[in-house]
């Protein structure tokens, strides 16, 4: 009887731990796999957070104007596994080639990020910049100079 009770409690704990995973959105709910975007730009910010880290990239369009893009990537822990963590190979100022999926029609294509407010009262007066850009989900990302793949399993041509 005691064994049955402990087994039941263990099953309930495992079931409740799975709820956050069930609540997470699917790629196809926001992004259109038929709208592939290719761009080359410079990394301006890497925000390591969960459930998705954000990589901000400035890209020059055909007119020479700078466009701001936001790559909604993996979790902070997964980026560490790819070597893109806080001390990884991708740094602010790096040139990258990216291909990925644009947002679906009707989905807000803009994403905004502002660093969390510091806990220390002495730092609260320091302005925290707000970053905004067009949202995309990267399929693959490469360092422009070396063509080294740093994210994704496939090339942009597949």
**Residue 103 pairs with which residues in a beta bridge?**
31
Q: Helix (H) and strand (E) counts for the chain?
A: 3, 7
Count of CB atoms within 10 A of residue 59's CB? 18
The upper half-sphere exposure of residue 26, i.e. CA atoms within 13 Å in the direction of its Cβ, equals 4
> What is the pLDDT at residue 135?
85
Q: Which two tokens stand for residue 61?
A: 């369009």
Count of CB atoms within 10 A of residue 138's CB? 22
Q: Which two tokens stand for residue 89?
A: 């190979």
Instruction: Pick the closest to residue 131 from 110, 108, 151, 102 (CA basis).
Output: 110
At which residue do the structure tokens 């709820």 appear?
A: 19
Tell me the per-residue pLDDT of 92-103, one tens digit each, with 9 for 90 and over.
999 999 988 888
Q: Which two tokens stand for residue 55?
A: 């990589």
Tell me the per-residue pLDDT of 37-93, one tens digit each, with 9 for 90 and over.
899 999 998 888 888 888 899 999 889 999 999 988 888 888 888 888 777 788 899
Q: Label residue 17 by pLDDT band (50, 70, 90).
A: very low
Name the residue ranges covered by the structural domains of the chain: 26-151
pTM for the predicted model, two decimal places: 0.73
CATH fold for domain 26-151: OB fold (Dihydrolipoamide Acetyltransferase, E2P) (2.40.50)
pLDDT of 111 higher than 80: no
């Amino acid at each position: 009887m005691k064994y049955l009770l402990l087994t039941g409690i263990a099953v309930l704990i495992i079931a409740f731990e799975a709820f956050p995973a069930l609540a997470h959105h699917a790629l196809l709910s926001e992004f259109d796999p038929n709208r592939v975007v290719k761009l080359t730009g410079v990394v301006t910010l890497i925000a390591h957070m969960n459930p998705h880290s954000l990589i901000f990239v400035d890209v020059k369009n055909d007119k020479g104007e700078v466009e701001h893009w936001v790559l909604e990537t993996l979790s902070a822990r997964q980026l560490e596994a790819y070597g893109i963590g806080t001390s990884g190979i991708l740094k602010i100022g790096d040139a990258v080639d990216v291909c990925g999926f644009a947002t679906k029609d009707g989905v807000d294509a803009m994403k905004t990020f502002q660093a969390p407010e510091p806990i220390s009262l002495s730092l609260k007066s320091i302005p925290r910049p707000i970053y905004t850009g067009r949202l995309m989900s990267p399929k693959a990302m490469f360092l422009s100079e070396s063509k080294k793949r740093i994210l994704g399993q496939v090339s942009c041509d597949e």
